[in-house]
Amino acid sequence: MKSLITFCLIITTFLGCAQVERKSLLKIEAGETLMLWESNIGLSCSGENICVVSKASKDHYYVYQNNKKNGPFPNSTAAAEICNSIAYEQKPAVSSHYIKGFVHPDYQNNLMSFSFNNQSYGPYTRLSVNMSPDNKHFMAVGAKNGQFYFMSDQVNEMSVPGWAEFFHWDEFGNGLCLIKSGFDDSEIINIDFSNMTEAEQIVYLNELQNKIDNSVSELYVIKLSGDMSGPFSTGEESNNNPGLSLSAQGHWVFSSGTKLIIDGIEVYDFQDMYFESSQVWLSPDTKQWAIKFYEKLLFSDGSEYPYPTRVNYCNEDHSHIEWITLENENELVHYSRSW
């Protein structure tokens, strides 16, 4: 206890020592094995009403629910049906690629343009436009004269080094666009080889191969406001990496291999531990974080807990985080703490 108090006094100087509350939810009986995949441990903010399936033997399965043990059931499927009938809301940690907001541009003479709030944009030889869920904002990337341009309702055309990979929005109207540089595949889509001699085709293909070999592929993140960060290495990007943090309004998270990047700044390199941005929770001011790794939940103050089954934030200002973890292979425990 003394060492814990000393630890808290040390980190309080920098971040404060959060008070952690622990509540045991249930213990399965001796000789039984908890079956996490068949269970439903979606985290309600109180940690109540969870439904757990356990295995006692090949044809004896039990369901723990509302402080009662039901069964036995002849197989895991029958037991899981009870738990699967319960719906829980599991809030995501970051935004995902927003697809429904794509806009079909106007075409004229093989050129594309669009309008927003009575203002016209274009024409472009290539165009991708994405609207926010409430249709109050847009982000777009267009191509003309061999160059790419980003624009939004908050910033005019600005030159960017590549094409749009993903668009993100959150419920507050914050937007994020992931740009990827390197060879542009669109260069070869409409090539008409019928008008080239065989020698011209060979020259063209050699030049194309040389362009591919010498291209550098990198990632850039642009916010709705036009603020751009990067370059970052490619290979880890996905439809939610990077993503807008849903617990820290207006901020974004990127998992670049073992590196945690927040708002374009490398915060920490975990060396040999990999994680996904969808498993990163931020405090509202982004000064603190929690990351769910394969074997543990790690906080920025150095505290860690056994691998949790669910993590959630449970109040409107996201100043509170909760999680359920399995301890000693037989006990589900609910934890909660403020940042």
Query: Quick one: pLDDT at residue 66?
Result: 80
Instruction: Answer yes or no: are the C-beta atoms of 238 and 214 closer than 8 Å.
Output: no
Q: How far apart are the first and last CA of the chain?
A: 21
Q: Do 206 and 226 sit in the same domain of this protein?
A: no
Domain assignment of residue 53, yes or no: no
In a domain, 15, yes or no: no
pLDDT at residue 67 in the model? 80
| Count of other CB atoms within 10 angstroms of residue 112 | 21
Q: Let me know: does 129 contact 135? Beta carbons within 8 Å.
A: no
Other Cβ atoms closer than 10 A to 109: 5
Distance (Å, whole) CA 329 – CA 339: 28
Task: Give the separation between CA 257 and CA 252, rounded to whole angstroms.
Answer: 16
Residues 139 and 226 in one domain: yes
- Say if residue 148 is in the same domain as residue 227: yes
Q: Does residue 208 belong to any structural domain of this protein?
A: yes
Structural domain of 235: 95-182+217-239
Tell me the β-bridge partners of 265: 262
At 229 the three-state DSSP class reads: strand
Q: Which residues contact 229 (CB under 8 A, 6 or more apart)?
A: 220, 221, 222, 263, 264
C-alpha dist (Å) from residue 276 to 74, 207, 257, 287: 38, 38, 9, 19
What is the per-residue pLDDT for 9? 35
Amino acid making up residue 64: Y
Residue 182 vs residues 127, 186, 304: alpha-carbon distances, Å:
17, 12, 40
Do 163 and 208 lie in one domain? The reply is no
What is the number of structural domains in the chain? 2
Instruction: Judge if 126 and 210 occupy the same domain.
Output: no
Same domain, yes or no: 103 and 211 = no
Residues 207, 115 share a domain: no
10-residue block means of pLDDT along the chain (339 residues)? 38 55 90 88 68 92 90 93 76 90 88 93 94 96 93 97 95 94 65 79 77 76 96 89 93 94 96 92 94 92 86 77 88 88
My answer on whether 212 and 228 are in the same domain is: no
In a domain, 163, yes or no: yes
- pLDDT value of position 197: 86
